[in-house]
Amino acid sequence: MRILLVEDDELLADGLARALRQSGYTVDIAADGPRADSLLAAGGYDLTILDLGLPGLDGSQVLTRLRGRRQKTPVLVMSARMAIEERVRLLDLGADDYLVKPVALAELEARVRALIRRQLGAETNFLTLGSLRLDREGKRAWLGDEALDLTAREWAAIEYLASRVNRIVAKEQFMQALYSWDDEITPNAIEKFISRLRSKLEPAGITIRTVRGLGYFLEKPEGHDHDD
Ligand code: CA
């Protein structure tokens, strides 16, 4: 999952980004309104965390432009100044949720999970596919009763594909979801990464297919419907 964090307070931005990355999200930071606007226009974000007081364009202008382009990326507004009329105005402009600063990290992460769930149409933090079970809150995965030993990025990749089961994820989109601009990443490295994932999942009948020229998808397991 790729998040754009728009925050001009460098210390706060770095702290939040570090915490979100530890939870397996890919995070890009924009420190002013125009930068946020152009990154959002380019697309590829699963969620935006948007501060209101920003240089260049303020947060509500960035939000207005985003929705003016009919982009549906969920937006979590974050601000210290938040009178009721302001909250109402922001929700009416197309914000999905808001948090009043100073933000509690646990609450921020819970709201991020809730918005991503809503976007994916999932009701809970748990996702089961055949013998694969994911806990989006605990960032853990199991195959049957056995906990999978995964890196943060592997976890993020499995969650990304499992949340879009049987849907092809373009290689470009997959790379965007998992790597930030600072990461040096080649198509070859992605192939290696995918094959490592396969070796962890295939023994349990979970298959990641490659569609040549298009991308990847996680195949819905057949005949593995556990009702527990
Ligand atoms: Ca600010």
CA 179 to CA 186: how far, in whole Å? Answer: 11
From ligand 1's centre to the CA of 184, what distance in Å? 30
The pLDDT assigned to 224 comes to 47
From ligand 1's centre to the CA of 119, what distance in Å? 26
The pLDDT assigned to 55 comes to 97
Residues 47, 150 within the same domain: no
The pLDDT assigned to 80 comes to 87
From ligand 1's centre to the CA of 4, what distance in Å? 15
Q: Residue ranges of the chain with pLDDT lower than 70?
A: 181-182, 223-228
The pLDDT assigned to 226 comes to 45
The pLDDT assigned to 227 comes to 41
From ligand 1's centre to the CA of 43, what distance in Å? 23
Give the structural domain span for 8: 2-120
Buried b (16+ CB within 10 A) or exposed e, 179-203: bbeeeeeeeeebeebbeebeebbee
Residues 195, 85 within the same domain: no
Q: Does the residue 226 lie in any domain?
A: no
| Structural domain count, the chain | 2
